[in-house]
Amino acid sequence: MHYQVELGSFDRDKYLTFLSDLLKHHGFQTSSMRLIMDNVGFHKGELVKEIIEEQRIKHTRTFIPKYSPHLNAIEYCFGQWAWFINSHPRNTEIQLVQLIQEAALATTVKQCEGWHHEVTRYHIICAAGQPLKYQPPKPLKKKKPAKPAHQ
C-alpha cells in the first residue's frame, strides 16, 4: 500500500507524516482497518491515536507483545527486502534507495498472503498457550527457466 524510505533515524514526526499518507490510501478510505504496531514509543503517542481516530472510517490500533517480531507481518517483509538488498552490491545512498524501491516493487501479493498466514499461525499457537519457536521463513527463490526439450 505505502512505504517510505528514510535514511537515518525515524522519529515521531516522520511517522506521523507516514501515517497520514497511509491513511489517504483508498483501502483506508473505504473500509475499517486494523493497524498492527510494535511498541516503539512514537507508535503509542496521543497524536498517532488522534490521527487514526479523526478518520471518517473507524480504524483500530493494536499493539503486538514486546519482542515478538514473528507476530508482525511487516518484519517478514523487511527480512525479504534485506535479503534482496544484501545480495546486491551498493556503494552509495542512491544505490541503496534504488534497491529498496526494487525490493518493494518485487513484493507480491502471494508473499504478503504467506507472511499473513505465518503470523496467523503464530497467533493460534499463542492463543493455545504453546511456547513459540520462531524460525524466520526462507526467502522465496526465483524459478529457473525451463530448459528447452531440444538443444
- Model confidence over 78-132: pLDDT tens digits? 999 999 999 998 889 999 999 999 999 999 999 999 999 998 988 888 888 887 7
* 62 DSSP β-pair partners: 36
In this structure, the answer to whether residues 71 and 59 fall within a common structural domain is no
Instruction: Answer whether residue 122 is part of any domain.
Output: yes
**pLDDT: which is higher, 7 or 81:** 81
In this structure, the answer to whether residues 71 and 133 fall within a common structural domain is yes
In this structure, the answer to whether residues 76 and 44 fall within a common structural domain is no
- Say what percent of the chain tops pLDDT 70: 87
For residues 30-38, give the mean pLDDT: 89
Range of the domain at 113: 67-137
For residues 132-147, give the mean pLDDT: 59
Q: Is the pTM of this model over 0.85?
A: no
Work out how many domains the chain is built from and give that number. 2
Instruction: Answer whether residue 144 is part of any domain.
Output: no
